[in-house]
Structure 1
Amino acid sequence: MLGRETRDTTYLLYGVIAVSLINIVLDYSIADRATKYTDHASLISLKDSFAPVYAIFLFTSFAIVARWIYLAAKTNRDAGIEGLNYSPVSSVAWFFVPVMNLWKPYFAVKEQYLARLKCDSFPSMNSKTTFHLWWFAFLGSNLLANIAGRAMLPRYSETYSSGEILVTYSLFSIAADIAQILSCLALIKIMRQFTAGQE
């Protein structure tokens, strides 16, 4: 039940972790060199050349994880589990509703997880911590990535040195990638437990 889908989604998430690690190394190098050199064109070019690869992994992972969440909810429905507040479609759809996507997807996935494990609440503090890590790291990653993007907006302004902007951008980008890695690892654990039907 969901074995192949969980395996494939896990592999993709490991791919996201790998490109996130590469991105961290690039950002660290940029932050380090930005304070020592005045010509930053090569640094920005290096980062920009890796951006498409990073984006492909990221957006593909969103689609594949959404598919897995849909199939997980469908598995519960097909098993005849009643009283669920979130359908397979709504379990995914809440990710795309502004403001509501700050908490509704968490509760949708949590409900499907608990239903699969036949529990009314988290079976242990470990599973509760894993869920909280997944969701808060996911939100944190998106927030930090947004801040990093905004940090690059004034790069053409004369009131900022490009070195300062690159350092600020790199530090927020590194923090976003670390949060993303933590979120991926927690989600992998959640998916495996769901598939096994036990913690």
Structure 2
Amino acid sequence: MTFSKMKFTQHFVSFSLLCTLLATAYLAYMAYGTNIILAKISSGHKLPAEELHILIQSLASIESFGGIILILTSISMLSFLIWLYKSYKNLLVLNKVPAKFSPGWAVGWFFVPILNLYKPYQVITELWNESFKNSSKQGFAVKQGPTIIKIWWLTNVASQITSLLTNGAASQVKNIQTLPFAEIASHYLALLELITISSILSVFVVAGFIFVVFNINEIQRSSHQGSLNSGGA
């Protein structure tokens, strides 16, 4: 089995994750700005026609942007899982012994309902620990990496729960068109508050993915180069 340097894979994963992060951050910004206008309406304030027009445009933009983020997230996760599979295969080359999780199950646990709330955390933790096992580096990433991964994964679970609540609130909003305008605004306000929270959590989650990919790729590449140098010596 040969070692995979994954330069293209790392760059593609990092780029797609970065695009997702920026798009999600912008969605949070749009949702927060729209919240301010909706809060005025739900409290009984009458808005000028110009502001109402801006509000309608903002709601439409948020809905469209949500679709773009969904596509970016799908691309990011697919590329991340490809990277994860290859990184787990590299462990066998570096450590000469099989890891607890096979490359196939390292990816597969992300698709098992309920278990995907904690099994992928175990997968990433093992990948991190096994990749850094023979490293002499003592930087911030090495010392704080496991703690950062734990906080990151808890944030990811919170983000998934918030996304489910957001989807539920979005379904309810579709059935309130006959209510008074102030009440409709109140329902939309609750929805956009959830979108804002969900987007902020997602930003931290995506940043965590970037942290994991970058550091594991660097240490695996460094360890492989070290083994080649020592072998050549």
Relative to the length of structure 2, the TM-score reads: 0.76
Identity rate, percent: 17
Q: 1:137 matched to which residue of 2? A: 155
Once the two structures are superposed, the pairs formed by residues 38-57 of structure 1 within 5 Å of their partners are: 41-57=56-72
C-alpha offsets along residues 114-156 of structure 1, whole Å, 9 cap, x if unaligned? 111116xx952x1122101221121111111111111122222
d(CA) in 2 for partners of 1:189, 1:81: 26
CA distance 1:163–1:81, shift in 2 (3 Å): farther
User: For each residue in 1:153-187, what CA deviation from the matched residue of structure 2 results, as whole angstroms up to 9, or x when unmatched?
Assistant: 22223499221111111111111111111112222
Residue matched to 2:231? none
1:9 match: 13
CA RMSD of aligned residues (A): 2.4
Partner of 1:175: 197
Q: Does 2:108 correspond to 1:93?
A: yes
**8 A contact 2:84–2:106 mirrored in 1:** yes
Instruction: Give me the whole-angstrom Cα distance separating, in 2, the residues matched to 1:83 and 1:48.
Output: 46
Q: Which residue of 28, 31, 47 maps to 1:27?
A: 31
Change (3 A) 1:118 1:139: same
Give SS of 1:197's match.
helix
Partners in 2 of 1:189 and 1:49 — Cα distance? 29
- Correspondence for 2:214: 192
Larger Rg: 2
Give, in whole Å, the separation in 2 of the partners of 1:52 and 1:187. 21
Cα-to-partner distance string for 1:36-60 (whole Å, 9 max, x where unaligned): 3586644432222222211111111
Q: Identify the residue that residue 146 of structure 1 maps to in structure 2.
A: 164
2:77 corresponding residue in structure 1: 62
Structure 2: how far apart are the matches of 1:195 and 1:62? Answer: 17
Q: Distance in 1 between matches of 2:205 and 2:62?
A: 23
Instruction: Note the residue ranges of structure 1 that are not aligned, 5 or more in a row.
Output: none
Report the count of equivalent residues.
196
> Which region of structure 1 is more displaced relative to structure 2, 36-45 or 183-192?
36-45
Q: Distance in 2 between matches of 1:133 and 1:30?
A: 30
Listed as ranges, the gaps of 5+ residues in structure 2 are 47-51, 135-140, 221-233
